[in-house]
Structures are given as C-alpha cells and as structure tokens.
Structure 1
C-alpha cells in the first residue's frame, strides 16, 4: 500500500491522476462549493456524492435500526444502525462509527456500505450513530450525543448481543474529531473502556495554521473556505476553537488513552494537524500507528468506486479492529 510518513516541513505533492479527474469533473459541471450552498442543499449534495462513489455492499451483514432513548429536554431519542455479521454467534465486540461531514453534513444511509464492510471484515458489530448536526445543534451537541451513546452501550449492550467490554471508537473527519474527544472523556471517566480509536483524517485543531493548510487549502476538494464554514456552523463563538472538546490537540494530557490508528490523506489541509495529534499520542506513550496515503484527498475513504486505496484502508482498519477486539 502506498503509505508513508512525512515531516511538517513539506512540499506540495502531486495529486493522484484519479483525484485530478474527479476534481476536473466537479469543475466542469460547476458544482457549487459547500460554503456557497444553503445547508439543506449541501446535505443533499453530500449525500449524492457518498452514494455515487461508495461501491458495492458485502454479503452476509444484517442491519437493525435502533432508537437510543433520551429525554426530550436532552435532545430526544437518537437514531442509530447496528450491523452484525449474519454468521456471528455469541456476544460481539462493537465498533462505534461516527460519520464525517463537518458536524453539518452526513447521515446513516450515506455511510451504510462502509459500515457493512467494517462489520464483514472485522467480524464485529458496528454501531453507527446519527448524532445531531449543526448549525441547528451547535457545539457541544454532537459530542453530548456521542457520550450518551457510549454510556447507553455500556448499560444496554448485552441485551443487543454486544460485549460492552470490547468497544472501539472511530470516525472520519468531524467524526474523527468526535471520536478523539470522546476517548479523552472516557479516560477521565475511568469506567468506559475503549480498546482502539480509529481516526480517519480527523479535525484536531480548529486554530491550526500548519503547513498543509497552506499547501492544500485550495483546489484539493476540502478547502479553507469550507473548513471555515463548517467551523462557523459548529462553533458559536471564536473562543470555542480553544476548547479541547473542539480542538483535542489542545488537551493538556495525552497519557493513558486507547491505542490509535490515525489514517490521513497526503493532499489534505488537515493532514499536518492529524500527524501532530498522532505525535502527541506517541510522545505520551500511547501505542499509535500513523498512515498517510499518497496522492489522496480528504474524503477518499468513502470513494472506493474511484480509489482502490479506500478498499486497502478499510481492510487495514478492519485488521486493527480484529487485533484490538479479540477476547
């Protein structure tokens, strides 16, 4: 697989030709940039993009729609989907997956095939959460939903055939941000064991001016203006960017966190922030594997129809889950 680790002093690298073809196509059809669209339009277009490039669903994975109870004053019930290998028996480990979309976009249906592949390849259950989206529900609503889900899973998992002592937590982009923060919170709570955190091109620092933001902040799918739009939607005040619950890289202590797999794309403005997070984990003695996929852009994991690197990366995540979640 074309993975490599790079330093922060980097030079702009050429985009993979398949990525260039995608970007040229989007330019030819004059697809509006996310920050130029009303939120509802952006959500529909993101949903269409996920469906267009998501690939084929694997066989042998069952899905159950769930509703996680919660009082109305706390935001009401949360929708979720539970995926299990049909042939699996006994209490299953569970991988909680948090979708990307800048805390503003994304839904359960758009990530269904990806979650099915995680379940089939890892031999585990996958619980995908439909957390509340901004700007209707700004920071820290999405994080509150994730935390509620984890506590509910610990309490109710056995009734669903799940082993709440074998939990992994992951997500891509904004979902990676939420997963990283929730692992910090779980470490503080002390009674919610998480065996692995899977952070796919996570947003870790809302104040960042690292090199990748300059090199890849225009013309590489995710751009500076869209990042600013997502932050504006999610974070009501500029001071929120300094809160470690929004910028986990600003947390004061990285010791005793779950082992991590941090997977990034080379041509992504968020890459240096993700690498910095991986290095903070490693410096604190946390087992952390960092992978950077050459020539890829933000969002590639959800585009296996275009990029075989997505398929390779899903297999790598599944292998890490198998190793971490074994009895």
Structure 2
C-alpha cells in the first residue's frame, strides 16, 4: 500500500511538472532591456487591445512608433526625423483610385537604386507616417530611393485591393524611376509584416504577369500563412505588440471570402511554387507569432531555388525593425537589410 502511494505521488508530481513546463513553454521569450523599455512605454500610453476595437478605433490607438518617441523623450533626445533624407509626397494611379506614395531620397547626385516599400499594420491600420523611421533609415543606409506606398486598407477595401495597389505602385516605379532620379534597372521591393506580404506578392505577380521582376525582396517578419498552430504562434500567443487574437482580427477584416485563404496572392505559402522569384532577405524577431512562418517561407524559397539570406534577432519583438534610435538590435537589422539591398543593386548590370 505504501509502495502504491509512493508511485501515485511520483506520477502526480511528474504530471504536475509536465503541466508547469507546458505553461512555461507558452510564455513569450524575455525581451532584452532596450526592447523592454519600448514595450513599457507602449503599455504606459494606455492603448486598448486592437482585437476589441473597430478598425476606426484601432487606427487611433498609440503605436510602437509613439512608444519609441516617448523613450527618446525620457532619454532627453530629439524626436525629430533623422536628417539626410528628403521626402516628397505624390499620388500614382491605382485600380480603385489614386494611391498616395512618399518618395524618400538620400543626399547625393543619383540616379539612385529604388526600393518600393510597403508598411505594416495587418492590412487594416497604420500608414507610411507610422513607419517613417524604416524607409528613412533604409534610404540613408542603402543610398537608395524608397517609394513608400499607402495602399488601400481593409475592411473598406478587402483583399485583393492592397495587393493590386502594391503591384500598381511597383509597375509605376519601373516606368517612372527616372522622374524621381532613380535607376529603372535597379528596382527592389520590401516591407514589414503585412508589407512584407505585399512585397513578396508583388514579386509573384510580376513573375506571373511576365513583368520585370524586382531585383530583390526585403521581407521583414512577413505575413505569409494563416497557420496559427505552429510553434511561434503557441509560444507568442500573448506577446506584445502583436499576438494571436490581433492576427485573427486582421485576417477577419482583410479576407473578402473563404477561398481567399487558399489564394497565394493573399498568403504566399499557398503558392504551388516560388520558383522564379527574386533573391530575398528575410528578417525575423524571436518574440513574434510570425517567427515560424517567416523561417518556413525562407526555407521554401531556398527549396524552390531562390537565393535567400535569413536572420533572426533574439530578445526583440514584432515591430522592432525601424527602432534603431533606441534598440541596438534594430539598428543592426536596418544596417543588415541595407547591406543586402546594396549587394543586390550592385549585382545588376551598370
């Protein structure tokens, strides 16, 4: 009897330990000190959970960019945009109306290489102004023009509106690069999160439509799939500033019909093949539900014969890219991305 009691106690202890480990495994990894400062600043701004709001309400919430500004203020540093880049606001024609673009030009003579840049925000919120630090940094570091696109957003304009706008802006850049002091033979695409999705979707569209493909695609934690059962979704289900409920909310507003979930122009991992796409740089963050799918997409690109460089940054979250002013790993990621762009531009014929 005593022996059986001991066995049962051992089993109970093992089960309890297993549950404890399972709970521990679901906790997001710990952010490094600089990243945590930004997360604390964001929390202090009093934003409400995006998934509980209407799109109109969500667009008025404090952003990670606002948190960076608060950290800079607390450090006694300027919140002015980094100098050395000029910005010109324009519009270009699109399938459902004019598309605002913002042309970031570095100092110098030119003509410069060009990258068409797509901001994040789950296809629903944010704009180029929110993400200003990213195209500004890339323009300066890569010595290239950034054509930042404010595509039409859901739910007012559901899929495929954003993808079609993104492609229209890319083809405009190909045909009009000289007008903005750019080199039409050196046009890349890139973006963050939903913008990373649009960058690789544009690459697919160009391939499928027999248009000139981009010279490179810069994909920063891109949205490429809707599998919310993978390892990073489980581990980062409650992460900040992006979590699983937010992604569900974004997909709900972006999708027009159930079959969109199998359309590669909505979710690039659904493509029959990725062969023929341009070389890619994929940047990932450890504390991000999108980590696993970004790595899987990089692997899939390689498998299909596309040259890929993949880099994961530990201790940082989704949205860290563009925070180079206060997060050292973000500065490293920006420099890395710019170096990859330069390599791709330099590889093109003069």
Q: TM-score, normalised by structure 2?
A: 0.84
8 Å contact from structure 1 (residues 53, 302) kept in 2: no
Q: Which of 55, 63, 66 is residue 39 of structure 1 equivalent to? A: 55
* Secondary structure, counterpart of 1:146 in structure 2: helix
Q: Which of 257, 272, 276 is residue 237 of structure 1 equivalent to? A: 257
Quick one: higher RCO (CA 8 Å, sep 6+), 1 or 2? 1
Indicate whether 1:59 and 2:80 are aligned. Answer: no
8 Å contact from structure 2 (residues 113, 144) kept in 1: yes
Q: Quick one: distance in 2 between partners of 1:202 and 1:59?
A: 28
Deviation of the 1:88 alpha carbon = 2.6
Mean CA deviation greater in 181-190 or 264-273: 181-190
* Secondary structure, counterpart of 1:65 in structure 2: strand
Equivalence for 1:246: 266
Deviation of the 1:154 alpha carbon = 1.9
* Secondary structure, counterpart of 1:165 in structure 2: strand
Equivalence for 1:85: 106
Q: Quick one: distance in 2 between partners of 1:119 and 1:157?
A: 15
How many corresponding residue pairs? 313
Deviation of the 1:27 alpha carbon = 4.8
- 1:114-129, aligned counterparts within 5 Å? 114-129=134-149
Structure possessing the higher radius of gyration over alpha carbons: 2
Equivalence for 2:74: none
Q: Quick one: distance in 2 between partners of 1:119 and 1:302?
A: 12
- Aligned-pair RMSD on alpha carbons? 2.0
**5+ unaligned residues in a row in structure 2: which ranges?**
1-24, 70-78
Deviation of the 1:249 alpha carbon = 0.8
Q: Which of 16, 22, 35 is residue 32 of structure 2 equivalent to? A: 16
* Secondary structure, counterpart of 1:88 in structure 2: coil
Q: Quick one: distance in 1 between partners of 2:336 and 2:126?
A: 23
Structure 1 residues 120 and 102 mapped into 2: Cα distance closer, same or farther (>3 Å)?
Answer: same
- 1:163-178, aligned counterparts within 5 Å? 163-178=183-198
Deviation of the 1:263 alpha carbon = 0.2
**5+ unaligned residues in a row in structure 1: which ranges?**
1-9
- 1:275-294, aligned counterparts within 5 Å? 275-294=295-314
Q: TM-score, normalised by structure 1?
A: 0.89
